[in-house]
């Protein structure tokens, strides 16, 4: 039952270890959120709206780094569950202001707690320092990735 040294050279790469850890977390978090009718993605959206009432879809898409079109279905879903509301902005009638309903706020709180507990379980065996170091490392990597966005690609004429 051990994949022994079969993938040992891949283990040297960050991407591989990261993918495996992320897959583990992702599927586990999704299982955790299922009783709430949420997924990792919908939970993220819900949480950001909760923290930023009146947020608009474009901005939300920016924050979560997802494309606007993809957000539409997610919001349809959350709106259909009576967790968020889309109301036209007074000052700009093509935009929507997003808010979380009372029901949404309650669900978000309970789900957030479940995810936190789940995180603790997934981090068993790691000290508080190690967990903090993990977060730092992940953010550093993310920001390194961002900066190479423009650098890489094609040298523009």
Partner DNA sequence: GATATTGATTACAAGACATAACTGTTTTCG
Partner DNA sequence: CGAAAACAGTTATGTCTTGTAATCAATATC
Footprint of DNA (CB under 7 A) = 19, 23, 39-41, 56-59, 65-73, 75, 86, 92-96
Smallest distance from DNA to CB 15, Å: 12
- Single residue of 39, 44, 77, 99 touching its own copies by CB under 8 A: 44
Residues 102-131 close enough to bind its own copies by CB under 8 A: 112, 115-116, 119, 121-126, 130-131
In b/e form, how buried is each residue of 114-144, taking b as 16+ CB within 10 angstroms? Answer: bbeebeeeeeeeeeeeeeeeeeeeeeeeeee
Q: Is 95 in the site for its own copies (CB under 8 A)?
A: no
Report in angstroms the alpha-carbon separations of 39 from 45, 58, 73: 10, 21, 13
Which listed residue (39, 59, 86, 99) binds its own copies by CB under 8 A? 59
Helix, strand, coil share (%) of the chain residues, nearest 5: 65, 5, 25
Q: Cβ 9 to its own copies, closest distance in Å? A: 5
CA distances from 111 to 16, 67, 81 (A): 29, 25, 15
Dig out the tokens for 132 from the structure. 């903090």
Closer residue to its own copies (CB): 81 or 112: 112
**Of the candidate residues 3, 67, 91, 150, the single one contacting its own copies (CB under 8 A):** 3
H/E segment holding residue 46: helix 40-51
Among positions 35, 51, 70, 109, the unique one binding its own copies when judged by CB under 8 A: 51
DSSP 18-33: HHHHHHHHHHHHHHHH
The residues of the shown chain that bind its own copies, judged by CB under 8 A, are 3, 6-29, 31, 40, 44, 47-48, 51-52, 55, 59, 62-65, 112, 115-116, 119, 121-126, 130-131, 133-142, 144-146, 148, 152-153
């Amino acid at each position: 039952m051990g994949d022994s040294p079969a993938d040992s050279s891949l283990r040297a790469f960050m991407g591989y270890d990261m993918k495996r850890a992320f897959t583990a977390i992702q599927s586990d978090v999704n299982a955790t959120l299922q009783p709430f009718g949420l997924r990792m993605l919908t939970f993220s959206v819900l949480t950001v709206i909760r923290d930023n009432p009146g947020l608009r879809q474009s901005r939300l898409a920016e924050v979560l780094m997802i494309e606007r079109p993809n957000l539409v279905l997610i919001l349809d879903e959350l709106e259909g569950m009576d967790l968020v509301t889309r109301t036209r902005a007074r000052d700009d009638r093509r935009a929507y202001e997003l808010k979380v309903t009372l029901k949404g706020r309650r669900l978000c709180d309970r789900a957030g707690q479940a995810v936190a507990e789940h995180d603790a379980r997934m981090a068993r065996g790691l000290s508080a320092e190690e967990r903090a170091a993990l977060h730092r490392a992940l953010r550093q990597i993310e920001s390194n990735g961002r900066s190479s966005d423009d650098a890489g690609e094609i040298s523009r004429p």
